[in-house]
Structure 1
Amino acid sequence: MKKLLYTLLMALYLIPNLTQAQELVGSVGTMWSYPVVYQYSEEVTWYFDLSGTTFAENEDVYIWIWSPSEPDAGNWENSSEFAHLNYEGNFIWSFTLTPTEYFSMSAEDIAGSAGFWFRLKDLTGSKQTEVANMPYTPIDSFFTADEMMRSYPTEATLDGGLSILFNSNLVDGFADATSVHMHSGMNTWAILQEYQSWLPEIVEKTKLKDMGDGFYKMDLIPSEYYNDIPEGFIMENITFLFVKDDWAGTSPELVIYAAEYIPPPPPEFRFFPLQISQKDFLQISRINNETGINTLIYTITAGSTEINGEFSGNMDEIKGFIDLPTLLQGIPNLTEIQVLVVDNQGNTIIDTTLPLKTLD
């Protein structure tokens, strides 16, 4: 608790550069890593969803991290190139590192720290996110769990990362293995990635990472790992077994089931109130916005008068109020207004005519 409190105080008070920041762009959204689980001495790529911020597509974004150490110390106003994130598309940025090397710390010291605390920023620090913490899943419990296999996550998705841990000490005949490979197929062997020991590229592709002491790890993304996946394919499971060397031994057949796909709720646009007059405030809102949609831009045409404006929000909701009494003041005998709303990517949300109630 003391380490966490110290880290937060450092983030909020003890770093003088933060006082020069001009704009908070919002909070970092979903964060994940590939591999899904990893040791601190392994190379890993962190992914950041910034669709809920005001960073622009393909904008240069940098990481400024101070825990477990501060590799780019003193460079808030001109971040180093090694802290530069890679833009992946669709408002996702990534950062690849080997933690022990990047932080110049041992795995033990990183494990004993307060974790990965950071902000994402532009080059000069004039734009920055809220403070964020990159989640980390330790795997130490597997080494003493007496489990043959464990997967992260427990249910696989077609396009998501999957890490599979294997304890070969629990399978007869694996004690002197020089390599371990995965022989597998999706949907009960319907789409195969066989272990073909006579093909060097397949030997390498199916090879598990040796973590020492008889423990191994396989990292994959099913949609990239398996070939010839038909359009519209729905993954139900991954069935597999582990193979010692050149088929000198095998594990029992194992299965990882697929997660149920739950599509996001559709966007919903609303006017309020539904009946308005020239003297009412008009509320415009949209919930369940698509990735990257954070601004609504409106054009109201009232007779020969055109009114333009915009308001911002996030994927959960964008909402704003239009002051019709002020904006339409002095325009007599209005019976309707034309309302056009587009999003920040140029998509038309609504183009409609709203009748105006006549006031007594």
Structure 2
Amino acid sequence: MKKTIFAAFICLLMSVAAMAQTEVGNPKFYTVPSIYMPTDEVTFYFDMTDVGFQEGVDLYWWVWQPLEPDAGNWEHSSDFAKLEYVGDNIYKKTFVPVDYFFQNQDRFATKADLLAFMQDEWGEAGYWCRLKTIDGSVQSGVFCVEHNRTEIADFANSGAAYQLFSGDKTTGYTDKWTMNKPLSILFNGDIQKIGGKTLNELAATAGFKYIGTHAGIHGFYTDGNDEVIEYDFVDPPAKNLNQQFNVWRPGCIEKTSLKQVGNGVWRWNLMTPQEYFCYNPVNADEDPRGFILTDMGIEQNGKWAVNPDFVGSFTAESLKFGIVGNDWDWGSEWGFEFKAGTAEAYPDPSFSYFPSKVSAKDIITFIRQYNGRMDGELTWILTAGDKTFSGVMSGNRDRRQGSANLLQELSGISSDSMHLTVTNAKGAVVTEADIPLVSADE
């Protein structure tokens, strides 16, 4: 009997715990590099806008495919699973997949065994996961960040010398690159030639060190005086957004070099182009920060960052680059050029209400489209005469909506207009308007 009571008590506790969990939506996400392998350092970015978590709350990555490194810790996630909050509702996780999934497991005796599984036997999907608070009381839905094994293999068999992969796998890659989307360029080492030899032939020669790139962006910047400034493939002091291949700077070699990613394929990682071209690595004796900034960059907390004011007024025309080897022993000048695609700018906020002519007997509906990333849930506040009443505008960033029953709220109130104020989740006013009240028969 006691055992039965105890078992029932345990089931009750489990049911209460399950009921305490809240499942919200799923994030949008992308990876940098856009094409990566299990041995690469990769950053997963998660956009939590409208997902349902509290802004800035500590979040953790709960992943079970290909392995489950934090198994058994649902109620108190481990520190290694914590995401870094970037700001503006963006979180990130930087890791090397084969290292991350080798921890806390006994299925694979060596990291090489795990790598072989991830490269050859792993399924066609990717990293099945959730995001969660440390205790799991709030969790996202289940989603999958897909791996890139098939893209690299398909490219290797395509017969093409190179291919651009801009964007992410979830929404579909494109060769129409833009400044704010991750960009990787793959080169077939058995086809792409520099100086009469393929990349793989050059890599097999005695004394080989590295294959690097030198690159620049051609585009136009409109300054605060509406003057248009051209940036071209030139050297300082002329206006440029270039990344040189400076062999005396190890950080530069690391940033600009092509990496072998299997199947005879080499990859050039341009992060997002606006990140790639906002700084140049330098040696510590040149600048203790380890970098110098271009006009596209600013310093934040001792690190380089993209200047939002610059990129918001910059129109990219084309990416131009050359491939070089070792200490400029061989290579191309500006041998490649790719036109930029059109970046999709998020529309400006738009507010409306209907009916357009409002009486004290109507139900009025407020709509605000294309809200700020951090606006969150909106609150509308109406004042008519000596009465003030309010409500919420629910929905998502693209469209939030709320309604008020004026017949009910304005009963006994005499007024020929209403004053509307709309505030965001932090209480900042985002919209104000005076709304005339007409007679019911107008």
TM-score range with shorter-chain normalisation? 0.7 to 0.9
Q: Quote the residue 2:425 is aligned against.
A: 344
Deviation at 1:114, TM superposition (A): 4.2
Which of 161, 167, 174 is the aligned partner of 1:148?
A: 161
Distance 1:208 1:286, change over 3 A: same
* 1:354 aligned residue: 435
Does the 8 Å contact 1:237/1:258 carry over to 2? yes
The alpha-carbon deviation at position 193 of structure 1 amounts to 2.3
Cα distance in 2 between the residues matched to 1:333 and 1:113: 67
Change (3 A) 1:63 1:204: closer
Corresponding residue for 2:59?
61
Once the two structures are superposed, what CA deviation does each residue of 1:83-110 show, in whole Å capped at 9, x if it has no partner? 2111111111111222223233431367
Deviation at 1:21, TM superposition (A): 4.5
* Aligned alpha-carbon RMSD (Å): 2.7
Q: How far apart are the structure 1 equivalents of 2:44 and 2:137?
A: 23
What does residue 213 of structure 2 align with? 182
* Pairing 1:238-277 to 2, within 5 Å after superposition: 238-251=319-332, 253-277=335-359
SS in 2 for 1:147: coil
TM-score, length-scaled by structure 1: 0.85
Q: Aligned partners of 1:17, 1:75: CA distance in 2, in Å? A: 18
1:34 paired residue number: 32
- Separation in 1, partners of 2:415, 2:76: 54
Q: Secondary structure at the match of 1:141?
A: helix
Q: Do the aligned partners of 1:68 and 1:113 also contact (CA within 8 Å) in 2?
A: no
Residues 1-360 of structure 1 mapped to structure 2, 5 A cutoff:
19-28=18-27, 30-104=28-102, 105=114, 106-108=117-119, 111-112=122-123, 114-137=125-148, 138-153=151-166, 154-170=175-191, 171=193, 172-173=196-197, 174=202, 175-176=204-205, 177-187=208-218, 189-190=233-234, 191=240, 192-211=242-261, 215-220=265-270, 221-226=272-277, 227=279, 228-229=294-295, 231=310, 232-251=313-332, 253-329=335-411, 331-359=412-440
How far off is 1:55 after superposition?
A: 2.4
Q: How far apart, in 1, do the equivalents of 2:49 and 2:406 lie?
A: 31
Contact (CA 8 Å) 2:59, 2:133: kept in 1 or not?
yes
Contact kept, 8 Å, 2:133 with 2:139, in 1: the verdict is yes
Evaluate the alpha carbon distance shift between residue 113 and residue 72 of structure 1 in structure 2; reply closer, same or farther with a 3 A threshold: farther
Q: 1:88 to 1:332 in 2, by over 3 A?
A: closer
| Contact 2:61–2:82, Cα closer than 8 Å, also in 1 | yes
Contact 1:78/1:125 (8 A) holds in 2: yes
Match of 1:7 in 2: none
Letter in 2 for 1:26: G
Alpha-carbon distance in 1 for matches of 2:91, 2:121: 24
Give the Cα separation in 1 of the matches to 2:255 and 2:432.
Answer: 52
SS in 1 for 2:64: strand
Deviations 1:178-225 (A, max 9, x none): 311112222262433222334444333322223467532221233333
In the superposition, relative to structure 1, how do residues 269 and 212 fare at CA in structure 2: closer, same or farther (>3 Å)? closer
Are the equivalent residues in 1 in contact too, given 2:153–2:263 (CA < 8 A)?
no
| Mapped partners of 1:340, 1:34: distance in 2 | 41
How far apart are residue 45 of structure 1 and its match? 0.8
In structure 2, do the counterparts of structure 1 residues 17 and 145 end up closer, same or farther at CA, with 3 Å as the change threshold?
farther
Q: Is the 8 A contact 1:294 1:318 kept in 2?
A: no
Q: In 2, are the aligned partners of 1:195 and 1:203 still within 8 Å (CA)?
A: yes
1:274 is displaced (CA, Å) by 1.7
Cα distance change of structure 1 residues 203 and 350 upon mapping to structure 2, 3 Å threshold:
closer
Instruction: Work out whether residues 54 and 294 of structure 1, in 8 Å CA contact, stay in contact via their aligned partners in 2.
Output: no
After superposing the two structures, state which structure 1 stretch, 128-137 or 36-45, moved more. Answer: 128-137
Deviation at 1:150, TM superposition (A): 1.9
Inter-partner Cα distance in structure 1 for 2:248 and 2:68 = 47
Distance 2:139 2:345 in 1: 31
Q: CA deviation at 1:258?
A: 1.4
Question: Which amino acid in 1 is paired with 2:401?
Answer: K
The sequence identity of aligned pairs, in percent, is 33
Counterparts in 2 of 1:110 and 1:86: CA distance versus 1, 3 Å:
farther
Q: CA deviation at 1:18?
A: 8.6
Tell which deviates more after alignment, 209-218 or 310-319: 209-218
Letter in 1 for 2:127: F
Listed as ranges, the gaps of 5+ residues in structure 1 are 1-14
Q: Deviations over 1:319-353 (max 9, x none)?
A: 12222233333x24333322211122434233222
What TM-score, normalized to structure 2? 0.70
Number of residue pairs aligned between Structure 1 and Structure 2:
344
**Equivalents in 2 of 1:336, 1:114: separation in Å?**
58
The structure showing larger relative contact order (alpha-carbon pairs under 8 Å, at least 6 residues apart) is 1
Q: Deviations over 1:272-329 (max 9, x none)?
A: 1122222222211112222122311122222222213223221121112222233333
Contact 2:48 2:89 in 1 (8 A): yes
* TM-aligned CA deviation for residue 120 of structure 1: 1.5
Task: Flag the 1:332–1:233 CA change in 2: closer, same or farther, 3 A.
Answer: closer
Q: CA deviation at 1:115?
A: 2.4
Distance 1:334 1:340 in 2: 17
- Partners of 1:55 and 1:350 in 2: CA distance: 25
Instruction: Name the CA shift for 1:325/1:112 in 2 (closer, same or farther; >3 Å).
Output: same
Give the Cα–Cα distance (whole angstroms) in 2 for the partners of residues 242 and 180 of structure 1: 7
Distance 2:41 2:428 in 1: 39
State the SS of the aligned residue for 1:67: coil
